[in-house]
Structure 1
Amino acid sequence: MRQLLDVPAPAKLNLFLHITGRRADGYHLLQSVFMLIDWCDTLHFERRAGGAISREDIGGSGPALPANDLVVRAAQALQRASGCEWGAHIALDKQIPQEAGMGGGSSDAASCLLALNRLWGLDLPLEQLLQIGLQLGADVPFFLGGDNAWVEGIGEQLTPVTLPAGNFIVLKPPTGASTPKIFQSPALKRDSLCSTMRDFVASASVFNYGHNDLQPVAINLCPDIKIGLDWLKNQNLSGTMTGSGSALFAPTSQASKVDITTLPPGWIARSCKNLFEHPLKQWRK
């Protein structure tokens, strides 16, 4: 096998995000549910001799990614961990917006680890891939895990959770919000009451459970978020920010009609469905 083509890397939405405290080392304690959706980047891999890792951008939109992005770093980390002498050329069709809170870069890195583990014939177990992934970013283990998840701790405690099928409208303004600035803000609420997965599963609508504690601070840093929330309200939809933003989403019914032509210029909008599991889940060992 010399190539792996059309490898998907799906985005995620945070159905809610509660900050329940802060550790002595400054890391925030949180609770959330990460849900996979069918908005995906696509990667193509070609195995090459010599050990070099190269990457090109194909299709997609937005600014070009840096040469040493998470995909390249993931491939290099896998080489170091395994002692592999193979190289690879990686072509990335970037469709998930950047600075959106949708985990696009982390998902690309996870799909890269899963794909090259196969392409290079390494057969590393999931536990070892998770160790590599955690060094690349807090969200990478989620995408490696393969399941929608109840998330706790500083984001490292993942418990698979079953979600019903759903439809969503996802919006991304042309501007982004700074994650470090949000978490550094003295205005950030850090004392939300702890929930349980049982409470979440038993709620009347899991897609409208809780809130996002980061949203008020993010609105002050990125006023476009408020514009998007008001637009969703005018569409008779209840929206919220995902992650640290600036993307927003709202559950919709299959029959609902959302007029995206009324969005301001430069906004991206897409109708999405959730995924019951990661499309590469069967590649885990």
Structure 2
Amino acid sequence: MDRAARLQVTAPAKVNLYLGIHTVKDARGYHRVDTVMTALDLADTLTFTPSGALGVMTVPDAGIPMERHSVYRAALAMGEAFGRAVDFAITVEKNIPLQSGLGGPSGDAAAAIAGICAYWDVERTDPRVVDVARGIGADVPFFLYGPPAYLAGAGDELVEVFEPAGELPVVLVKPRSGGVSTVEAYRTFDATPQQLGDLPRMLDAMRSRDRDAIVAGVFNNLAPAAIEILPVIGEIRSWLRGLPGVRAAEVSGSGATVFAICETREDAERIACQARDRHDWWSCATKMEKSGPKVTVC
């Protein structure tokens, strides 16, 4: 690709259709995790401009020092892996809330990697790229590709990808203030471990693209920890589960967002409005989709 080109890369959010945390840990101290994730059409946008040095700016400002930003760390790791200068100014337009369980920082890191791969004509499947992604965060390898997927290990080993079961409508709801750190959620889980769900049922449902079975298999054994830390998450989940038009509702990741799979797009939009107007919760009507980072020349 033209080294002088200006690029835009989307960084989609995700939800965990299944999340099973095991009590056993690997040599790195990470819990064994089984998860089935799917991307949404809610996304951040990264803009790359060739520059004399690497720089990262977030709009609106997220209050994170640049050196700790997932995009900065991913770009720097790509430079180290390939022995090349990462001389880009990268602007991250944030639409995905932080500490939401929607994978915003991981998706942004994957989009940064995808943009650099496009500039350098490197395949995203290059083992060096995959190693960089895994080194940044457990969810990052998923975001590099896009189709619904089953990941194991620490949630960073891609095991199987699936054909999407269609653009299922989803509403996302979270409290406007407060969040749940992943570290705190796992610490709370360790104090009171939860039983695993029926992973084989969810995998069979994904393979057969059986929407009813996918909805029935939605599960997250980290949800009780998130609710213990921030009880309003439980209020949101209970509220969503009691609404007409909602087929399933569960916490995504470690929270603080609860996602609900809805009967129709209209149901998702109606519920999003109710969440904002009646409860002053952050909300967004969206849908599942299969795409990973989309790279365009601008």
Give the TM-score taking structure 2 as reference length: 0.84
Q: Does 1:161 align with 2:162?
A: yes
What does residue range 126-141 of structure 1 map to in structure 2 within 5 Å? 126-127=125-126, 128-141=128-141
Moved more, 271-280 or 101-110: 271-280
Amino acid at match of 1:144: L
Specify the alignment match of 1:115 in structure 2. 115
Taking a change above 3 Å as real, the CA distance of residues 275 and 83 of structure 1, as seen in their structure-2 partners, is same
Structure 1 gap ranges (5+)? none
Equivalent position to 1:187, from 188, 192, 195? 192
Specify the alignment match of 2:64 in structure 1. 65
Q: Does 1:43 align with 2:46?
A: yes
CA distance in 2, matches of 1:30, 1:147: 19
Taking a change above 3 Å as real, the CA distance of residues 195 and 227 of structure 1, as seen in their structure-2 partners, is same
| CA shift digits 1:58-101 (9 cap, x unpaired) | 3x4x7433212010111111111111135110111011010011
Q: Is the 8 A contact 2:96 2:102 kept in 1?
A: yes
Moved more, 96-105 or 147-156: 147-156
Amino acid at match of 1:160: V
Equivalent position to 1:223, from 228, 231, 256? 231
Taking a change above 3 Å as real, the CA distance of residues 245 and 178 of structure 1, as seen in their structure-2 partners, is same
Specify the alignment match of 1:260 in structure 2. 275
Q: Secondary structure at the match of 1:126?
A: coil
Identity %: 27
CA distance in 1, matches of 2:186, 2:80: 32
Q: Secondary structure at the match of 2:279?
A: coil
Q: Is the 8 A contact 1:14 1:33 kept in 2?
A: yes
Amino acid at match of 1:80: E
Equivalent position to 2:204, from 198, 201, 207? 198
Moved more, 270-279 or 25-34: 25-34
Specify the alignment match of 2:56 in structure 1. 55
Taking a change above 3 Å as real, the CA distance of residues 193 and 270 of structure 1, as seen in their structure-2 partners, is closer
Q: Secondary structure at the match of 1:3?
A: coil
Specify the alignment match of 2:255 in structure 1. 245
Could you list the runs of 4 or more consecutive aligned residues of structure 1 that deviate by over 6 angstroms after TM superposition? none
- Shift in Å at residue 199 of structure 1? 5.2
Per residue, is there more helix in 1 or in 2?
2
Taking a change above 3 Å as real, the CA distance of residues 261 and 243 of structure 1, as seen in their structure-2 partners, is closer
- Shift in Å at residue 226 of structure 1? 1.4
- Shift in Å at residue 38 of structure 1? 0.5
What does residue range 141-152 of structure 1 map to in structure 2 within 5 Å? 141-152=141-152
| CA shift digits 1:41-67 (9 cap, x unpaired) | 001101123xx2112223x4x743321
Structure 2 gap ranges (5+)? none
- Shift in Å at residue 192 of structure 1? 4.6
> RMSD across aligned C-alpha pairs, in angstroms?
2.4
| CA shift digits 1:182-226 (9 cap, x unpaired) | 212311215556526225545633134142101112111111201
Taking a change above 3 Å as real, the CA distance of residues 28 and 89 of structure 1, as seen in their structure-2 partners, is same
Task: Give the length in aligned residue pairs.
Answer: 277
- Shift in Å at residue 235 of structure 1? 2.5
